[in-house]
Chains A and B, each alone.
Chain A
Amino acid sequence: MDKNLQEEFTQIIKFEPPLYKQRYQFVKDLVEKYKPKKVADLGCADCSLLWMLKFCSCIEVLAGLDICANVMKEKMHTLSPLPVDYLQPSERSLTVTLHHGSVAHKDPCMLGFDLVTCIELIEHLEESELKKFPEVVFGFMAPSIVVISTPNSEFNSLLPRVMLYRHPDHKFEWSQAEFQSWALETARCYDYSVEFTGVGHPPTGMEKVGFCTQIGVFVRKYPQTGEPVQSEQPMEAVYKTVFKAVYPSLKDEKYLQTAVINEVIFTAQIIKHRLMSKREEYSDDPERKSKFQPSTDCFSDYLGKLVVEKDMEPFVSGNEVYIPLATIFSFPKVNRLCGTFEKLRKLIAGKVTLSRDGSAVMFNIEHENEEN
């Protein structure tokens, strides 16, 4: 390489977006493509990749593993559910777990994953650990896809101030050939196919150097054999769980029930309110046309269309207001939550006051206006 040219690049190489972001984006794109349900990040460090992945709606199980508990703990709270996750539980379920341990050890908690990512991990491994690594990841965990990224040592000559390795903790940095031969051998051994790519493009005219970060994407050739194979002797857990967060989800009956009850009562309240104010203030409701058209289920619009079937109409009898369950069920939000009318009945049983025949939500309005 021309010495002067090299000097020049040494001054100006700067990745935009920063290289670490490009690596994360690469993983994110992969997730978008393959839609894995269970993803583990080995060497998750400060959990920033996990944090990005928790927003991917296909993922239901996220796990992180690191040899250093402190660095994980520093930001692990960012993986906790947010208040809003409790207020509006989502459809999908999500569990995030952090384990403290080494990639050189097998632990049953790492079984059954669809995607395992090892971003800038292997170069931190001691020789003995690196030796055990393929057996643990490809042999034992055996996910459908493994992503491994590591520095490309050929690129180092373009980086300012890099003397030996890019980070003091790196045990080695491989050339493209070194990485590829290791990867191909590993893939062959465990029946995976591997494709090579990378992030951080080399400057024009220096393409031979390769990507700044080299990446191998391994895809398992043999199909999933149903249940993960258990070894003969029962496996012992060797990792220590340092963090676990179960996100509220509508898949969980408890949250679903709360959501349905809330929605049913709230819907019924609005219908009741409408009914009562119609009875009281008959004069004060001119027709309104509006430009602010809500795109989702809006109440006012919906109520207009409601008077189709007679037996669905809410009514007042003495001190009681009756709002037929069928009416409530016809509201998109309630409908979507419950799916079937039977499910609706089951979920609200005993939690919402119903008419004697169980066909309507009942409110007593006797004490409504007691004070003020």
Chain B
Amino acid sequence: ETTGLQVSSGLQDLSLRDRGGRRRDFHDLGVNTRQAMVHVQESKTGFSGKMVKLTTNHFRLTSRPQWALYQYHVGYSPEMEARRLRSALLFQHEETIGKTHAFDGSILFLPKKLESKVTELFSRTRNGEDVKITVTLTNELPPTSPTCLQFYNIIFRRLLKMLNLQQIGRNYYNPSDPVSIPNHRLMVWLGFTSSILQYEENIMLCADVSHKVLRGETVLDTMHSLHSQVGEERFRDTCAKELIGLIVLTKYNNRTYRIDDIDWDNNPKGTFRKSDGSEMSFVEYYKKQYNIEISDWMQPVLISQIKRRRGNIQGSVALIPELCSLTGLTDKMRNDFSMMKDLAIHTRLPPEQRQRELGRLLNYIQKDDNVQKELRNWGLSFDYKSVSFTGRVVQGEKIFQSGAMFDYNPQFADWTKETRGVPLIRSVPMDSWLLIYTRRNYDVANTLLQSLFKVTPSMGIRMNKPNMIEVDDRTEAYLRVLQQRVTPDINIVVCILSSSRKDKYDAIKKYLCTDCPIPSQCVLARTLSKPQTIMTVATKIALQMNCKMGGELWSVEIPLKQVMIVGIDCYHDTVSGKQSIAGFVASLNQTVTRWFSRCVVQSRGQELVDGIKACLQTALRNWSKWNKCLPSRIFVYRDGVGDGQLNTLVNYEVPQFLDCLKSIGTDYSPRLTVIVVKKRVGARFFAEIGGGLKNPPPGTVVDTVVTRPEWYDFFIVSQAVKNGCVAPTHYNVIYDTSQLKPDHVQRLTYKLCHMYYNWSGIIRVPAPCQYAHKLAFLVGQSIHREPNLMLSDRLYYL
């Protein structure tokens, strides 16, 4: 009874066919990087640290012994075009091919072998046309073949569909029990992400709880409220900024579209060409097709580009704002503290609850007869208990600051208290600086100044009285003051802003990062308005300013000598410029406390890597200037790599790094390690502590069971979270001539997570990645071109 379910969408997504062009391979299957690294052939596991018992969100997939999947090619004579017709004709022969099958129009998968290698079947179409169908066995696939893995994923999506979950994008959600957050007109659906992959020893399902944020308003509603907020003049720009790049759902079908453009010259009365060549207006079409009356005939039309996979035909779809609902969060919403707080209550599930929700899904799967039957028909089943194993918690680092050494509480992964009032490694004096504020914020400015005078002496920062400048609360007023008063001898410019209006901030940053390269610090007046927190805030600002001017705060022990650490991250400006920005940072000194930075601004379609090569060259030049020699080891931490891009990285980017090193000199051959850093992973780990599930402590390293056999990869949980589940970071060493033991690479990586100066604690990624992210974000959001190189040896982008 479970046959005949639609499999085509899944098959299409995963593209089982080799169509010669791009294949969408989200899981980077078939990129085998480990085989080239001899030193990790035998083992890629580390050894240091204390053992910890862990469970995960992985579940073993089991199949009966000698299980195989039979792949057939299905041909039609005469040739039939329509996929639906092809399926209908083939399935007239269920008594031959069986009731269990997956068919995408040309490839057929069966759990059993047909009697002969070539089977000929005869069908008749509705028009009475006789068709010969030839079913030819092309492959007998073992359970671990890549095609089989793709197939498992398709089958699993089928199961989720059978459970009446709704597909939105790549995941499935349960619509029947939503959480609504009326304050922000949001709705949250609980759902699941799932992927089935070959892990170290088993094929496993990795399932995780996922939350979909949906918005209870149409795009037209949003346009109206934007209009009332910004007025006519800035309306179109604001719409473009707020809406382009968002994903919408439509009222009439179950598809998602990305808004790529807004056509202001069109409206629902406009016409489009239907597939049969006739013209029809949108109003007419929606009335006829879906009985939907469009009420606002003056609204513009949204444009969504679609990439047809077959033959790369590009086309676009026009959508009516009134019929589209928004999904997901915009950057603006993400920056809305109260909104994120309200959301977090529902989306940040603590470990036990998260596992419980996941258990519910597995329970549905286990209890549903149809689902079980489908699985049985394919000869597959799951282990409904999640996989457990042991991980290691590596030892905490010692924090060094001006000759003093500190331990931190490993549970909180934070040393704010421990290092309070201790001199910094290198403090930069503030002899000459500007403090700019509006009249309304005069008191606030004074409060900040007094507090800074109180907190800076113990840090060892020498500070003079600033030039206090009052301005009107307009962007031009700020800019005029900057142009008149900022001179090269100024250490830093501090601006107190009365609102988080982005344009003012952008203008200030743009001027002081490009035209007139002086470090700057913007502070929101509101942040300084609470007497209880002012000292903490002032301390943070003092530290941040010191870093921006080239100061150093603390260090950890880095045992490797002559090493340069590189961090790369990308920012994709989907809104205005259609640019991509790669942030590049490289360490300058032995203690890894100073960083050189550059960035690459690239328009759409260009490869980032060419620019990165130039960055690496200047970084090496600077390193040799600082150290009087070239580094003998280089570690590249590469963040911002999307799903399915690993192949490009291995085949294109790494060779470019090597080329670049070669170009430095014939006798120069440093050891190079390239590590891909991934924050968005499906894996979650839970420590079994005291009979319950807890977040694993910072420093937990996992390099067995849930890693991939074809990679030299590991996970580190480096940060601590107050609520919800901690997300491990995945590290994939794709190139390594360092000859270092895996344990040392893991330790170095963890050490680097301690070195981000904007947070006196351990963060999720190595500091160079976070610096690169900060830089790329600043340039992508505010500056839009490469900042002045005069600033390149300071953390001005913090």
Residues of chain A whose beta carbon lies under 8 Å from any beta carbon of chain B: 55-57, 69-71, 73-75, 77-78, 80-84, 86-88, 159-163, 166-168, 258, 261-266, 269-270, 281, 286, 288-296, 298-300, 368-372
Of A56, A71, A159, A262, the contact of B185 (CB 8 Å cutoff): A262
Indicate with 1 or 0, residue by residue over B188-220, a CB within 8 angstroms of chain A CB atoms: 010000000000000000000000001110101
Query: Which of B50-58, B161-169, B602-610, B719-727 lies at the interface?
Result: B161-169
Query: Would you call B187 and A87 a contact (CB within 8 A)?
Result: yes
For the complex, is B290 an interface residue (Cβ under 8 Å from A)?
yes
Contact between B4 and A265, CB atoms less than 8 A apart: no
With A83-B168, A83-B249, A258-B180 given, is the CB distance from A369 to B526 under 8 Å? yes
Report the bound CA distance from A163 to B166 in whole Å.
45
**Which residues of chain B (125-148) have a CB below 8 Å from chain A?**
126-129
**In the complex with contacts A87-B325, A294-B227, A299-B228, A166-B178 CB distance below 8 A:** no
Given A87-B214, A296-B295, A300-B228: A371 and B185 interface contact (C-beta under 8 Å): no
Contact B232 A73 (CB under 8 A): no
- CB nearest to A243 among chain B residues: B164
Inter-subunit contact A84/B251 (CB<8 Å): yes
Q: Is the interface of B mostly helix, strand, loop or mixed?
A: mixed
Known: A70-B1, A74-B4. A295 touches B175 (CB 8 A): no
Residues A161 and B292 in contact, CB atoms below 8 Å apart = no
Determine if A55 and B224 form an interchain contact, defined as CB atoms under 8 angstroms apart. Answer: no
Asked if B338 contacts A368 (CB within 8 A), the reply is yes
A9 to B216, CA, bound (A): 55
- Contact indicator B228/A295 (Cβ below 8 Å): no
Pair B337/A371 contact, Cβ less than 8 Å: yes
B624 interface residue per 8 A CB criterion: no
Interface centre among A55, A163, A281, A294 (most CB of B within 10 A): A294
Interface of A is mostly: loop
Query: What 1/0 mask marks residues of chain B from 364 to 399 whose CB sits below 8 Å from any chain A CB?
Result: 000000000000000000000000000000000000
Given the complex, which residues of B lie within 8 Å of A292, measured CB to CB? 223, 227, 232, 235, 298
Q: In the assembled complex, which residues on chain B have CB atoms less than 8 Å from the CB atom of A369?
A: 526, 529
Q: Which of A77, A281, A300 contacts B161 (CB 8 A)?
A: A77
Interface size on B, residues (CB 8 A): 61
- Contacts A161-B129, A261-B182, A371-B337; A82 near B228 (Cβ below 8 A): no
Instruction: Give the docked Cα–Cα distance between A87 and B215 (Å).
Output: 7
A-B contact pairs, 24 of them (CB 8 A): A56-B291, A57-B291, A73-B1, A73-B2, A74-B5, A74-B6, A82-B254, A83-B173, A84-B251, A87-B187, A87-B214, A88-B325, A161-B129, A166-B126, A258-B180, A262-B182, A262-B185, A294-B224, A295-B298, A296-B296, A299-B225, A299-B228, A300-B227, A372-B526
Q: Which residue of B lies closest to A165 (CB)?
A: B128
Decide if B5 touches A293 in the complex (CB within 8 Å). Answer: no
With a CB–CB cut-off of 8 A, which chain A residues contact B182? 261-266
User: Do A289 and B228 touch (CB < 8 A)?
Assistant: no
Q: Interface readout for B289-319 with A: 1 if CB under 8 Å, 0 if not?
A: 1111001111000000000000000000000
Contact present for B180 and A262 (CB under 8 Å): yes
Q: Verify A372–B524 contact, CB threshold 8 A.
A: yes
Q: Which residue of A lies closest to B254 (CB)?
A: A82
Question: Given A294-B224, A369-B526, A265–B183 Cβ distance below 8 Å?
Answer: yes
Please name 9 further chain A to chain B contacts, defined as beta carbons within 8 Å, in addition to the given A86-B178, A87-B215, sorted by A numbering. Answer: A55-B291, A70-B99, A82-B250, A83-B254, A166-B128, A266-B185, A299-B224, A370-B337, A372-B337
3 closest cross-chain pairs (CB), A and B: A300-B228, A161-B128, A265-B182
Residues of chain A contacted by B4 (CB below 8 angstroms)? 70-71, 73-74
**A82-B253, A371-B337 known; A88 and B216 CB under 8 Å?**
yes
B527 located at the interface, meaning its Cβ lies under 8 Å from any Cβ of chain A in the complex: yes
Q: Please, how many angstroms separate the alpha-carbon atoms of A80 and B189 in the complex? A: 16
Does B788 touch A at the CB level, under 8 Å? no
Cβ–Cβ contact B6 & A75, under 8 A: yes
Tell me the complex Cα distance, A89–B214, Å.
Answer: 14
Does A70 lie within 8 Å of B296, measured CB to CB? no
B296 to A87, Cβ gap below 8 A? no
User: Is A163 a contact partner of B128 (Cβ separation < 8 A)?
Assistant: yes
CB atoms of B128 and A160 under 8 A apart = yes
B124 beta carbon closer than 8 Å to chain A: yes
Within the assembled complex, what's the spacing in Å between the Cα atoms of A291 and B298?
A: 10
CA distance A290 to B295 in the complex (A): 19
B164: chain A residues within 8 A (beta carbon) = 80
> Which A residues are CB-close (under 8 A) to B175?
81, 83, 86
CA distance A273 to B634 in the complex (A): 53
Q: Does B266 contact A (CB under 8 A)?
A: no
Report whether B338 and A82 are in contact in the complex, using a CB–CB cutoff of 8 Å.
Answer: no
Q: How far is the CB of A140 from chain B (nearest CB, A)?
A: 27
B458 interface hit (Cβ, 8 Å): no
Collect the chain A residues with CB atoms within 8 Å of residue B292's CB: 55
Chain B residue nearest in CB terms to A267: B182
